Each structure stands twice: as structure tokens, then as C-alpha cells.
Amino acid sequence: MRRILVTGGAGFIGSNLVRMLLSARDDVEVVNLDLLTYAGNLANLGDIEQDPRYTFIKGDVSDPDTVRGALEGVAAVMHLAAETHVDRSIQGGASFVRTNVLGTHTLLEVALEAGVERFLHCSTDEVYGELPWHDPEAPGDRERFTEDLPLEPRSPYSASKAGSDHLALAFHRTFGLDVVVTRCSNNYGPYQFPEKLIPLCVTNALEDRTVPVYGDGLNVRDWIHVDDHCRGMRAALEGGRAGRVYNFGGDAERTNLQVVRRILAALGKGEEAIEFVRDRPGHDRRYAVDSSRARAELGWSPRVSLEQGLDATVAWYRSRTEWWRSIKAGEYRRYYDQQYGGSGAVAPRGSRSLS
């Protein structure tokens, strides 16, 4: 049995990854180390909690003793534990530095001490900075992030992730630790915490609430289904080159407004459900990654189109109302009301023209 430690395995991407690792191979054991902060939810893994190949440890990646215990007998680490929401990092960045930078440093030190065979560090395309805006529907070549670009993070969140990327690669160059770094575009799919655009849009629409859209809604993101991202991480774990960075994108650039309109149409809602809200500080205009290296070296490519993925995601949230209603009834509701002003009706309040 090959034993793999997944940090942050009770979160959105982590829970999907844990499930994929266990289903892909019979000779794999997975240890899930998660502190269960607001976005960590053991209900995300309720279907596999009785699997004898799965072990859950509640703990902090910043605590060396906890990490040492979790790494016993582990061959590889897949490090996903992180504070991830840009808005929260703007309100207060200390927890982002602690988890994303200090936590990653602790994991790297203990992994080196334990002699793990491979350390995969999951990161984000936001570390690259911002790209010039380009209409997703317009023809022509457009600039995309490649792995060799210098990092130019523009938010406390992305700065903390860039710091952790540098640390991981430095441990490879300085100490010879086998490190692979992956950077993905915007994920969506089952079990995503409803503070992010797609689950927020779906669940608000299902509750007959307005859907908040920052600014003019024309910020462009490249969307990747979580299953495609998890396949990419698994491919990088098994076949990536040590010291290498791999981008994973969905080849699905859309404006936020296009995504929201597509979801509302799928739910039989009109554009009157859209509520434009004040833009967040430093809101990057466009992200998009070039996944050529992953295609060439790992044989990976995205399989789920955005249209298929959105339809499946909408259906999933429709069928899991108890899961997301329990989340939105708790701490998240207080955060949402503070962030967006507590809007609750379908009729938009203070919205701007869509033209």
C-alpha cells in the first residue's frame, strides 16, 4: 500500500481529490489532515469515511508535532490546506500568512525530515498577477500565464500563495526535496463552499435571493471542473518532474457575467436576479493559463466542458440542499450579510444597467 497525506482534504478540492485517489487505485491509503476551519466539512467525505484505507486527523499544518504524526509511513504529500478566499484576505491577512506560508514551511521541514518521496504543492494562477482584458468571445490570440513567468501577486491571498510556492521550490533546490508545484485556474463543482461565484449564484437563485456581481461583471476567468484539476494533480504526483511547475486550465474563459447568466438561465431565472455590488479592491481583470506543459509532459487535458460542468454542478446543488443550507445558515450567513449588505429579495437593489 502506498500511503498519501492530503492536507485540507475536508475542503472543496481536497475532498474531491481524496475520493478520486481512493477510487483510482486499490493499493492507495489516504491520510486526511484538516483543521476543519469554516470551509472544512467532514460531510464532504461521508460516503468514504468507513473505507479502511482512509484516515482522518484533525490538526493544524502549522504544528510540527501534528504533522510528524500525520506523516508516519507516508510516501507522498499532496498539500492543499490553505486559506483561499480573496475577499477574506483583504479584510484580514494574518490567517493567510500563518496557514499558507508558515504552514507550508512546517510541512516542508517535516517532510524533508521524514524522507517523503514526493511533495506536491497545490497553488493558484493568481500568483502570476493580472492579464490584459480580452473579450472571451472575440477571435485572435491572447496572452496566457506560462509557468516561467515571474510571480506578481496582487492580493494578500495570492501573495501568501506565491510565498509558499517559493518556499516549496527552494526546498527542492536547497535540500533536494522532490517537489512539484501545480497552479490551476478557477475551480468549480461539487462541495464548493458557497462564498465562491458559482455555488453562490446557484444557491442564491434556488433561495430566490439576488446574485451579487462585483463591479461591471466583466472580469474574465478560465474555469476548470474540479475533477479535471484532481486528475491533473494525480498525473503530476505520478509523472511530474521534480522541481517543475505545471499549470492546469479548463480552456473555458468567460466573464463573471456570462457565467452568472448561464446559471440563471439553467434555473429558469431572469437577469432581474442580478445585483451589481461595489467592486472589491484590486480586483484582477483577467486570468488564463497555458496548460501546454501539462499536456506535453503529463498527457493531461481537460475533459469536462464548461457547459457540461455547469449543468452537472447546478444539478448537484439542487439535489444537496441540506448540505449547503446548513452552511449558509451558520457563520457564512453573517459573513455574507456583512460583505454584500444582506440583500435577500429577487428584485435587484441599486443595480446598474447590464449594457
Residue 157 annotated in active site:
yes
pLDDT digits (tens, 9 = 90+) for 269-294: 999 999 999 998 989 999 999 999 99
What is the fold, at CATH topology level, of the domain defined by 2-336? Answer: Rossmann fold (3.40.50)
Q: Given a cut of 50, is residue 78 above it in pLDDT? A: yes
* pTM strictly above 0.95: no
Q: What percent of the chain has pLDDT over 70?
A: 93
3-state secondary structure of 342: coil
Q: Given a cut of 50, is residue 342 above it in pLDDT? A: no
**The three three-digit cell numbers of residue 28, written as one number:** 492507495
pLDDT of residue 344: 36
Q: What region, left, alpha or beta, does residue 217 occupy, with left being phi > 0 and alpha being psi -120 to 50 degrees?
A: left
Nearest to 336 by CA among 212, 221, 219: 212
Q: How confident is the model at residue 337 (pLDDT cuts 50, 70, 90)?
A: low
Q: Half-sphere exposure of residue 268, counting CA atoms within 13 Å on the CB side?
A: 4
Q: How confident is the model at residue 189 (pLDDT cuts 50, 70, 90)?
A: very high
Residue 26 annotated in active site:
no
Q: Which of 34, 126, 195, 227 is catalytic?
A: 126
Mean pLDDT for 319-344 is: 69
Q: Which of 34, 60, 125, 227 is catalytic?
A: 125
Alpha-carbon gap, residue 137 to 218, rounded angstroms: 12
User: Is 105 within 8 Å of 81 (Cβ atoms)?
Assistant: no
Q: How confident is the model at residue 332 (pLDDT cuts 50, 70, 90)?
A: low
225 Cβ partners below 8 Å, 6+ apart?
Answer: 187, 188, 189, 250, 302, 304, 306, 309
Q: Which of 128, 157, 246, 287 is catalytic?
A: 157
What mean pLDDT, rounded, does the chain reach?
Answer: 92
Q: Given a cut of 80, is residue 28 above it in pLDDT? A: yes
pLDDT of residue 334: 55
